[in-house]
A and B are shown apart, each in its own frame.
Chain A
Amino acid sequence: MTALLTIIVLVFILIAIWQMVKIFDLAQAKGGNDIPGVATDKDNTLNGYLMMGFLAFIYVITIVCCVKWGDLPLMSNSASAHGPTIDNLMVISMALIFFVQTVTQFLLHYFAFKYKGEKGKQALFFADNNKLEAIWTIIPVIVLAGLIIYGLNTWINIMGVDESDDPLVVELYAQQFNWKARYAGADNTLGKANVRLIDIDRANILGLDESDPNAQDDVITTELHLPVGKPVLFKMRSQDVLHSAYMPHFRAQMNCVPGMITQFGFTPTVTTSDMRQTPEMVEKVQNINKIRVENSKKLIAKGEEALESYEFDYVLICNKICGKSHYNMQMKIVVETQEEYDAWIKEQKEFKNSLIN
C-alpha cells in the first residue's frame, strides 16, 4: 500500500514538473530566434538579481547561525590550562575565515550580478596579470606562515609532556562500549598490563600483571575524578577496536589503539561545581532543562517516563566509530579539589583487594 502511494505521488510530481515546463516554455515562446535551452538576456537579468539575493542569503544564514549558536559554551568555557590557547587560535582563525568569506563571496556574487550578460555587450579580453597573481599568491603565503607558526607553537606546547611536573598518571581503558579509569596508586606508576592477562573469573578485567608490584595498589574506577590544578597524564589503551577519548571541555582528544599505548596530558583548571556556576553554563543548563521539560510532556502523553532534569557534568565521549552502541559510550568526569579527590580515591578498592580468589 505504501509502495503504491509512493508511486502515485511520484507520478503526480513528474506530471506537475511536465506541466510547469510547458507553462514556462509558452511564457517564453515570444523570443523568436533564441536557441532553445540557451540563456536569454531576460534569464541573465533574473539570475543576476538572484545572485545578489543568494549573497544576502549567505550573509543572513551566517549571522543567524552566529547569533543563535555561536556562543555555545564549548567555544569559550575551556576547563584546562591549555584550553585558552586553543580557543585563542580558534578565534583568530575564525575571524580570518569570516573576513575572507565575506569579501570573496561578495566579489563573486556581485560580479555575477554586475556583469550579467546582454546582447551586444563586449567582455574585456583580460587573460593575465602577473602583478595581480603575485599579490594573491604572496598574501596567502604571509597569512598562512603566521597561522602555521602560531599553530605549531601551540601544538608542540600541548603535546609535549613535561615529566618534571610530576603529573598524576591515569590510564583510560576503552572497550565496547564503556570506559574505565585506572589510577596508579601511591607509587604513581601504573602496573604492567596486557589483554592476554584478562581473567574475568578473577575480576582482573583490565589484564593487569598480578605479579607486578606496581600493579598492586592500582585503582580501577568507572568514573574519572581529577584534582583541580594538577597536571594529569593520560595513558590510553583499548582492548578491542579503535576508540577515541574525547573530552571536549578540556580541549583534549586522543585515539585508543589496540596493541599500543597512546597519551595525552592536560591540567584541569575549573572544578565541576565552579563550572556549574558560571553564567554561561547556568544559562545553557536552564535552556536544556526547558527543552527537556517540553520533551517530557510528549513522553508522558505517550505513557512513558519523563526525562530527568539535567545537571552539568564533564564527560568523556567516544569519538571514533566503534560499533553498535558507539553513540552511548561515555564516562562522567569530576574535577574537584585535592581534598575531595583524596577522600574519593581512598574509598576505592586497590587492585590487590579487588581480585576474586
Chain B
Amino acid sequence: MSAHADTHAHDDHGHHHKETFVTKYIFSQDHKMIAKQYLITGTIMGVIGVIMSLMFRMQIAWPEEPNVIFEALLGKWAPDGVMDADIYLALVTIHGTIMVFFVLTAGLSGTFSNLLIPLQIGARDMASGFLNMISYWLFFLSSVIMVISLFVEAGPAAAGWTIYPPLSALPMAQGGSGMGMTLWLVSMAIFIASSLLGSLNYIVTVLNLRTKGMSMTRLPLTIWAFFITAVIGVISFPVLLSAALLLIMDRSFGTSFFLSDIFIQGEVLHYQGGSPVLFEHLFWFLGHPEVYIVILPAMGLVSEIMASNSRKPIFGYRAMIASILAIAFLSTIVWGHHMFVSGMNPFLGSVFTFTTLLIAIPSAVKAFNWITTIWKGNLQMNPAMLFSIGFVSTFITGGLTGIILGDSALDINVHDTYFVVAHFHLVMGISALYGMFAGIYHWYPKMFGKMLNKNLGYIHFWVTAVCAYGVFFPMHFIGMAGLPRRYYTNSNFPLFDDLANVNVIITIFALVGGAVQIVYLYNFFASIFFGKKAVQNPWRSTTLEWTAPVEHMHGNWPGEIPHVHRWAYDYSKPGHDDDFVPQNIPLKDGEEELQH
C-alpha cells in the first residue's frame, strides 16, 4: 500500500527550479507555501471576527451607550456612537460565519492538513498541487466576498450564522437579507467548492502517497484526524451547498422550497408548500458534522503535541483512531439535536437524543487517554504543550454541558439561551482555537524556519486561558436563568436586570482576552523576520517532518524520501539512548515494534 512514494522520487523536484516571485509566493503549488497562505488569510479573518465579537460584547454590557469605537468602525451604523440593532445582528452573524468557516475550518484544517500531510506521510507534495492552489484561491475569493459584504448599503447578512429562512430569504424581513445575504451565499458556495477540492486532495494524498513503510497504523494521529475530517467534509459540505442553492432559488427565482404561507409588510407572498424545517435539516446535516470538522484536526494536533512534549507515547493509539472513527460516524446522525423544538416529530427527537449522547463515549475515551498520556511523563512546558493541556481542559468543561443540551427534555429550557453559547464556544470555539495555537507554536519552526518567542507564548497562553474561562463560564449561568442569545439589549426585560452585572464581567474578560492576542500577533509576525533561527528538530519529535531540512525546498527532502520503520510514538522507549526514536530509524536487532 505504501510503495507509491518511489514514483515521486525523481530528483528534478529539487531546489534548482526556477521560480518567480509570483509562482513562489502567490500562485504557489507548494503545499508549505499554501499552508502559510491559509494561515495568514485565516489570521486576518480571525482578527476581523474577534473585533466584531468585542464590539457586540460591549453593546451587551453597556447597552445603547455611545462608544467611540463603534463610531470609528461602524460609521453610519452607529449614529452618535450608539450601535444600531440591525448591525448588532449582522455582527453576531458574520462573527459566527467567519470564526466557524474561515478561521476554524479553512484556517485550521487548511493550514495544518496542507503543511503536515505530505511532510508527515513522506510525500513530495500533495497529490495535485494545482488543485491545491485552486482550493486556496477559491478560499481567498470567498473571504474577499465575505468582507465586501460588510460594506453593502442595506447591511451585511444578519439572520444568524445558521441563516434560517424565511428571515434570510425575504429582503423585507430585515435589511441584511438583501444584497448582504446574496453575497453571503455566493461567498459560502465558493468556500464549499474550495473546501471540497482541499478535502479530496487530502484524502487522495493520504491514501496514495505514503512513503515506504508508512502503513495506516503507523500514521501519526494528526494525519488520521485530517484524513477523517476530509472524509466528513466530503460527505456533508455538498448538502450545505444544496441548501444554499435552493435558498438562492427561493430568493431569486420564486421557488418555494423553504417558504409557505407568508404575510409580511401588509402583503401575502405567493410561496406555498415549502418548509423552513427542511432547510434546518439540510443546514444541520452539514452544521453538526462541521463542529467535528473543526475539532478533529485540533484533536489530532493536540495528540501529537502532547505525546512529543510528554516524552511518552500517546496512550491508546488504536483507541484514539477508533474514537475518531466513531465520532466521525456518529457526527453525521446527530444533526437533529439542534431541532428539538423546531416542530419536528417528537419521536425523531428521541432518536437524536440517543445518538447524541452516544458521542460522549468516544469523547470521554479521548479525554481519559490524553490525561493518561501526561501521567508519569517528563512534561516539556512549551507554549504548544500549554495550549494542548488547555485544549483538554476546555474540551472537558465544554463537552460536559453537551449532556444537557443533547438531552431533548432539558434542551426545551436552555435551547437558544446563553447556555448554548457558553457550551459551543468552550467545546469547539476555544478548544479548536487552542488546538490551532498549539499547532502554530509547535510547527512554526517548520513553517518559517524561525522560533517563536516562548515568553510571549507563556503570556499569551495564561492570559487567554484565564479570560476564556472568565468569559464563558459565567455565561452558563445567565443561560440557565433563561436569557436568550442574540438580543441587542436585555433592558426590555426587567426580569433579567440582575444579570446585567454578569454581562459586564464577561465583557471585561473578553476585552482583556482580545487585547492579549496582540501579543501573539506581534510574536507571530515579528518572529518571521527577527525570530531566532530554528534547528532542524527543536522539540525532538519522531515524525518525518523533522527529518526534512529547515530551509524549504520543493519536494521536501533533498535526496531520497525517508522510509518508515516504526510507529510515530516511540518516545522514551526502553533500550534506546535518546528519549525519542524517529520513524525513519530502523528497528534494532531483536527490537520489537509494539503493535498498538
Q: Which residues of A contact B (CB under 8 A)?
A: 2-3, 6, 10, 13-14, 17-18, 20-21, 24-25, 28, 35-39, 43-44, 46-48, 50-51, 54, 57-58, 61-62, 65, 69-70, 72, 74-75, 85-86, 89-90, 93-94, 96-97, 100-101, 104-105, 107-109, 111-112, 115-118, 121-129, 132-133, 136-137, 140-141, 144, 147-148, 151-152, 154-156, 158-160, 175-176, 194-196, 198, 200, 207, 236, 239-242, 244, 246, 248, 251-255, 257-260, 262, 284, 287-288, 291-292, 295, 307, 310, 312, 315, 317-328, 330
User: What's the nearest-Cβ distance from chain B to residue A161, in Å?
Assistant: 10
B10 within 8 Å of A by Cβ? Answer: no
**Cβ-neighbour of B490 out of A46, A124, A327 (below 8 A):** A327
Residues of A within 8 A of B502 (CB): 69
Please tell me if the beta carbons of B396 and A260 are within 8 angstroms of each other in the complex: no
**Cβ-neighbour of B474 out of A65, A104, A330 (below 8 A):** A65
Please tell me if the beta carbons of A74 and B482 are within 8 angstroms of each other in the complex: yes
> Which among A44, A96, A121, A323 has the greatest number of chain B C-beta atoms within 10 A?
A323
User: What's the nearest-Cβ distance from chain A to residue B335, in Å?
Assistant: 16
Please tell me if the beta carbons of A321 and B486 are within 8 angstroms of each other in the complex: yes
Distance A236 CA – B343 CA, assembled complex (angstroms)? 9
Q: Which 9 A-B pairs have the closest CB atoms?
A: A259-B260, A37-B451, A248-B482, A262-B343, A159-B346, A47-B381, A195-B263, A36-B532, A124-B376
Distance A280 CA – B466 CA, assembled complex (angstroms)? 32
Residues of A within 8 A of B455 (CB): 20-21, 24-25, 28
Residue of B nearest to A121 (CB): B378
**Given A151-B408, A251-B413 in contact, is the A239-B262 Cβ separation under 8 Å?**
yes
Please tell me if the beta carbons of A101 and B400 are within 8 angstroms of each other in the complex: yes
Q: Which residues of B contact A (CB under 8 A)?
A: 68, 71-72, 85-86, 89, 159-160, 164-167, 170, 173-175, 259-264, 266, 268, 272-277, 310-319, 341-343, 346, 349-350, 353-354, 357-358, 360-361, 364-365, 367-372, 374-382, 385-386, 389, 392-393, 396-397, 400-401, 403-404, 407-410, 412-413, 415-417, 445, 451-456, 458, 462, 465-466, 469-470, 473-474, 476-478, 480-482, 484, 486-490, 492-495, 497-500, 502, 518-519, 522, 526, 531-532, 534-535, 538-539, 569, 571-574, 579, 594, 596
**Cβ-neighbour of B259 out of A44, A112, A116, A259 (below 8 A):** A259
Please tell me if the beta carbons of A155 and B572 are within 8 angstroms of each other in the complex: no
User: What's the nearest-Cβ distance from chain B to residue A336, in Å?
Assistant: 19
> Which among B367, B417, B494 has the greatest number of chain A C-beta atoms within 10 A?
B494
Residue of B nearest to A309 (CB): B494
Please tell me if the beta carbons of B386 and A252 are within 8 angstroms of each other in the complex: no
Residues of A within 8 A of B86 (CB): 324
Please tell me if the beta carbons of A158 and B409 are within 8 angstroms of each other in the complex: yes
Q: Beyond the given A105-B393, A123-B572, A240-B166, could you list 16 further A-B residue pairs with CB under 8 A, ordered by the A residue number?
A: A58-B393, A97-B403, A105-B397, A111-B375, A126-B375, A136-B368, A176-B264, A251-B412, A255-B342, A255-B343, A259-B261, A259-B273, A319-B415, A324-B174, A326-B486, A326-B487
Residue of A nearest to B392 (CB): A108
Please tell me if the beta carbons of B262 and A258 are within 8 angstroms of each other in the complex: yes
> Which among A47, A90, A125, A147 has the greatest number of chain B C-beta atoms within 10 A?
A125
Please tell me if the beta carbons of A69 and B481 are within 8 angstroms of each other in the complex: yes
Residue of A nearest to B407 (CB): A151
**Cβ-neighbour of B386 out of A47, A107, A148, A262 (below 8 A):** A47
User: What's the nearest-Cβ distance from chain B to residue A8, in Å?
Assistant: 14
Please tell me if the beta carbons of B377 and A123 are within 8 angstroms of each other in the complex: yes
> Which among A13, A127, A200, A288 has the greatest number of chain B C-beta atoms within 10 A?
A127
Distance A129 CA – B396 CA, assembled complex (angstroms)? 22
Residues of A within 8 A of B400 (CB): 97, 100-101
Distance A199 CA – B398 CA, assembled complex (angstroms)? 49
Please tell me if the beta carbons of A89 and B473 are within 8 angstroms of each other in the complex: no
Residues of B within 8 A of A36 (CB): 451, 532
Distance A235 CA – B269 CA, assembled complex (angstroms)? 23
Please tell me if the beta carbons of A117 and B311 are within 8 angstroms of each other in the complex: yes
Residues of B within 8 A of A127 (CB): 313-317, 569, 594, 596
**Given A115-B376, A140-B360, A155-B350 in contact, is the A17-B484 Cβ separation under 8 Å?**
no
Please tell me if the beta carbons of B409 and A155 are within 8 angstroms of each other in the complex: yes
**Cβ-neighbour of A239 out of B264, B476, B484, B500 (below 8 A):** B264
Distance A151 CA – B411 CA, assembled complex (angstroms)? 10
Residue of A nearest to B261 (CB): A259
Distance A70 CA – B480 CA, assembled complex (angstroms)? 9
User: What's the nearest-Cβ distance from chain A to residue B353, in Å?
Assistant: 6
Please tell me if the beta carbons of B266 and A200 are within 8 angstroms of each other in the complex: yes
Distance A194 CA – B272 CA, assembled complex (angstroms)? 12
Please tell me if the beta carbons of A72 and B341 are within 8 angstroms of each other in the complex: no
Please tell me if the beta carbons of A320 and B365 are within 8 angstroms of each other in the complex: no
Please tell me if the beta carbons of A323 and B343 are within 8 angstroms of each other in the complex: no
Residues of B within 8 A of A148 (CB): 353-354, 357
User: What's the nearest-Cβ distance from chain A to residue B125, in Å?
Assistant: 28
User: What's the nearest-Cβ distance from chain B to residue A238, in Å?
Assistant: 9
Residues of A within 8 A of B85 (CB): 324-325, 327
Please tell me if the beta carbons of B481 and A327 are within 8 angstroms of each other in the complex: no
**Cβ-neighbour of B478 out of A69, A136, A287, A323 (below 8 A):** A69
**Cβ-neighbour of A326 out of B68, B314, B343, B488 (below 8 A):** B488
